[in-house]
């Protein structure tokens, strides 16, 4: 029998990237070989994102390109958030698709593959009432130094703009024992950085009798011999406790960076978004971090143009940027999503106004970043070497505070430094990255 091949393309967040690593590992374990183009594959999978409309459209554009291949033996599958959101409607919209499965059904992947191989052309995995998390021994990791570990799946919050509770289902935490076993195994095979993942990592709660909370889990993972860096994403301010800051302070392996999405600087808008915190409550968490024993880089997510956001509300968001001085931020124009509460809200902000606010916000943040990065010039930061820019003769490093630091290191080229931790002196800065030279005495 000729070997079966698959191609997978991934959209969206790190959870999706990691899901694709697990799906890939599972397929490899079932005798499939991975290929680099959809043309070369028997099975073409798109692991999709539906956080904003633009992300959702991408998969339909991809599928459209392959419409003519329908019936030529190629099998198409839509996985992830668009699959869960649109369900069987995808079969109508793109009749050459044979598999539609959301992330809560990946534990049944093997079974779904058997059905596809048997010729079933409408295979679905759309149930959200699973108690399971998708743990598999077959994960095929993309990065040789940094590994993702899912600690909690799903989300129990109900932010008015957000599709995630509908696409990823209710929260399910893994046992601390299985997380620790995976982390130890990764350390033993040479991984030095671990990124703990969850839509809301802070609400992690060990379902076993040990009953660890997130702060306890973070501290224990950071103590594993061989693990030099631990990151985590994403935090919800409501569940971000003082004990997390204490665990970070006490464990040097936890990176100097916290991503704490605020979404808006206006308490009124936060209430309309059902974020469950006020601006003051958010600022209290920022103060914990600013007064902590170590210096932490702070980053955030902001949505502009949520229904009912006035010019005054937006001003408050700008003023929050001045107050917090984030090291980086992701900003988005509000995009209406199916099933969400905000869909029914009035006072929609016109597209041009959303765009204007986005530009104003990004310009303000750019000025802040130029200033903050310039403060680092002259200092020494430790990087994990993640890549090489041959054309520039530079290595690409990442700092604990999650900045990219491109640097030169005399007498090295090829892949020699990849995966190493090195001190680098910062010599120049820009709005989005730093440049430096190795501070190792050669
Ligand atoms: N429109 C725009 N941005 C959104 N986000 C989530 N839902 C929407 C939406 N409907 C943003 C939030 C979140 C980030 C991952 O995406 O800022 O933190
Ligand atoms: Fe996109 Fe959210 Fe799904 Fe991640 S969880 S893929 S960001 S919709």
Domain end among 374, 398, 429: 374
51 C-beta closer than 6 A to ligand 2 = yes
CB atoms within 10 A of CB 71: 8
What's residue 1's pLDDT? 43
Instruction: Tell me, yes or no, whether 140 lies in a domain.
Output: no
Q: Which ligand is nearest to the CA of 338?
A: 1
**Is there an atom of ligand 2 within 6 Å of 81 CB?**
yes
How far apart are alpha carbons 188 and 362 in whole angstroms? Answer: 42
* Model pLDDT, residue 350: 98
Atom of ligand 1 nearest to the CA of 336: 10
* CATH number of the domain enclosing 107: 3.40.50.12160
- Is residue 230, in this structure, part of any structural domain at all? yes
Q: Is 334 in the pocket of ligand 1 (CB under 6 A)?
A: yes
User: What atom of ligand 1 comes closest to residue 163's alpha carbon?
Assistant: 7
CA distance 406 to 308: 42
If asked whether residues 177 and 228 sit together in one domain, one would say yes
- Asked if residue 141 belongs to a domain, the reply is no
Distance separating alpha carbons of residues 214 and 32, to the nearest angstrom: 37
Q: Does residue 391 share a domain with residue 334?
A: no
Residue 389 Cα to ligand 2 midpoint, Å, equals 30
Contacts of residue 192, defined as CB under 8 A and 6 or more positions apart, other chains included, come to: 145, 146, 226, 227, 228, 229, 384, 419, 421
Atom of ligand 2 nearest to the CA of 51: 8
Shared domain check, 167 and 307: yes
Q: Where residue 387 sits, what CATH number does that domain have?
A: 2.40.50.140
Domain boundary among the residues 356, 374, 392 is at 374
List strands edge to edge, sheet with 257-259: 257-259, 297-304, 328-333
Show which of 346, 374, 402 is a domain's final residue. 374
Please report, for the domain that includes residue 242, its CATH number: 3.80.30.20
Question: Is 88 found in the same domain as 117?
Answer: yes
159 lines ligand 1 (CB under 6 A): no
Supply the residue whose CA is at minimum distance from atom 16 of ligand 1: 51
The whole domain housing 95 covers: 4-125
Residue 136 lies inside a defined structural domain of this protein: no
- Cα of 333 from ligand 2 centre, angstroms: 16
pLDDT of residue 442: 58
Whole-prediction pTM: 0.95
CB of 182 closer than 8 Å to CB of 211: no
Locate the ligand 1 atom nearest the alpha carbon of residue 263 and give its number: 17
- The reply to whether 280 and 419 lie within a common domain is no
Instruction: Identify whether residues 119 and 248 lie together within a single domain.
Output: no
Q: Which helix (H) or strand (E) holds 97?
A: strand 97-101
* 254 and 320 within one domain: yes
Instruction: Determine whether the shortest distance from the Cβ of 303 to ligand 1 is under 6 A.
Output: yes
Q: Which of the listed residues 15, 85, 134 should we mutate to test ligand 2's pocket, taking the one with most ligand atoms within 8 A of CB?
A: 15
Instruction: Round to whole Å and give the CA distance between 425 and 436.
Output: 5
Whether residue 66 is contained in a domain is answered as yes
Q: Does the CB atom of residue 12 touch ligand 2 within 6 A?
A: yes
Query: What's the gap in Å between 41 CA and the centre of ligand 1?
Result: 33
**Mean pLDDT in order along the chain per 10 residues (442 residues):** 85 97 96 95 97 94 82 89 97 95 94 94 92 88 95 97 96 97 97 98 97 98 98 97 98 98 98 98 98 98 98 98 98 97 96 98 98 98 95 95 96 82 97 95 64
Query: Same domain for 384 and 367?
Result: no
What does the pLDDT read at residue 285?
A: 98
Same domain, 188 and 238: yes
Ligand 2 binding pocket includes 50 (Cβ within 6 Å) = yes
Are 388 and 353 within one domain?
no
Residue 131 falls inside a structural domain: no
Point out the ligand 1 atom lying closest to the alpha carbon of residue 261: 18
Residue 204 · residue 178 · CB < 8 Å: no
pLDDT of 250-307, one tens digit each?
Answer: 999 999 999 999 999 999 999 999 999 999 999 999 999 999 999 999 999 999 999 9
Number of structural domains in the chain: 3
Dihedral angle computed from the Cα positions of residues 174, 250, 236 and 335, in that order, rounded to the nearest 10 degrees: -100
Q: Is residue 307 part of a domain?
A: yes
The reported pLDDT for the residue numbered 70 is 64
Q: Say if residue 313 is in the same domain as residue 288.
A: yes
The three-class DSSP label of residue 392 is coil
Please report whether residue 175 resides in a domain: yes
Which residue out of 51, 152, 170, 201 has the highest number of ligand 2 atoms within 8 Å of its CB and is therefore the one to mutate? 51
CA of 393 to the centre of ligand 2 (A): 36
Same domain? 327 vs 364: yes
9 backbone dihedrals φ, ψ, rounded to 5°: -120, 140
């Amino acid at each position: 029998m000729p070997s079966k091949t698959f191609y997978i393309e991934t959209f969206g967040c790190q959870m999706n990237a990691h899901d694709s690593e697990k799906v890939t590992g599972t397929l490899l374990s079932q005798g499939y070989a991975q290929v680099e183009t959809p043309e070369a594959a028997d099975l073409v999978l798109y692991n999709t994102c539906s956080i904003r409309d633009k992300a959702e459209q991408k998969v339909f554009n991809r599928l459209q390109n392959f419409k003519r291949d329908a019936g030529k033996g190629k099998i198409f599958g839509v996985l992830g958030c668009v699959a869960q959101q649109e369900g069987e409607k995808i079969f109508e919209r793109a009749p050459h698709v044979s598999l539609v499965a959301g992330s809560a059904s990946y534990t049944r992947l093997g079974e779904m593959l058997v059905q596809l191989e048997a010729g079933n052309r409408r295979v679905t995995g759309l149930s959200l009432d699973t108690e399971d998390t998708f743990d598999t021994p077959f994960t095929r990791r993309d990065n040789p130094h940094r590994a993702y570990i899912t600690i909690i799946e799903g989300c129990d919050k109900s932010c008015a703009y957000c599709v995630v509770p509908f696409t990823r289902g209710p929260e399910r935490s893994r046992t601390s024992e299985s997380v620790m076993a995976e982390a130890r195994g990764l350390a033993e095979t040479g991984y030095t950085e671990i990124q703990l993942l969850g839509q809301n990592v802070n609400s992690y709660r060990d379902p076993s009798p040990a009953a660890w909370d997130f702060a306890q889990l973070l501290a224990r993972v950071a103590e594993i011999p061989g693990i030099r860096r631990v990151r985590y994403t994403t935090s919800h301010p409501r569940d971000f406790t003082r004990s997390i800051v204490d665990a970070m302070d006490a464990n040097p392996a936890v990176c100097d960076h916290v991503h704490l999405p605020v979404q808006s600087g206006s308490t009124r808008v936060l209430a309309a978004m059902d974020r469950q915190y006020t601006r003051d409550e958010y600022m209290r968490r920022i103060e914990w971090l600013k007064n902590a024993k170590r210096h932490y880089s702070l980053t955030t997510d902001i949505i502009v143009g949520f229904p009912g956001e006035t010019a005054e509300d937006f001003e408050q968001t700008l003023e929050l940027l001045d107050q917090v001085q984030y090291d980086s931020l992701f900003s988005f124009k509000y995009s209406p999503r199916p099933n969400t509460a905000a869909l029914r809200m009035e006072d929609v902000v016109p597209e041009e106004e959303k765009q204007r606010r986005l530009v104003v916000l990004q310009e303000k943040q750019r000025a802040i970043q130029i200033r903050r990065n310039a403060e680092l010039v002259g200092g020494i930061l430790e990087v994990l070497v993640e890549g090489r820019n041959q054309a520039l003769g530079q290595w690409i490093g990442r700092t604990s505070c999650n900045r990219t630091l491109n640097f030169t290191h005399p007498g090295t080229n090829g892949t020699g430094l990849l995966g190493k931790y090195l001190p680098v002196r910062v010599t120049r800065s820009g709005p989005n990255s730093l440049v430096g030279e190795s501070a190792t005495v050669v």
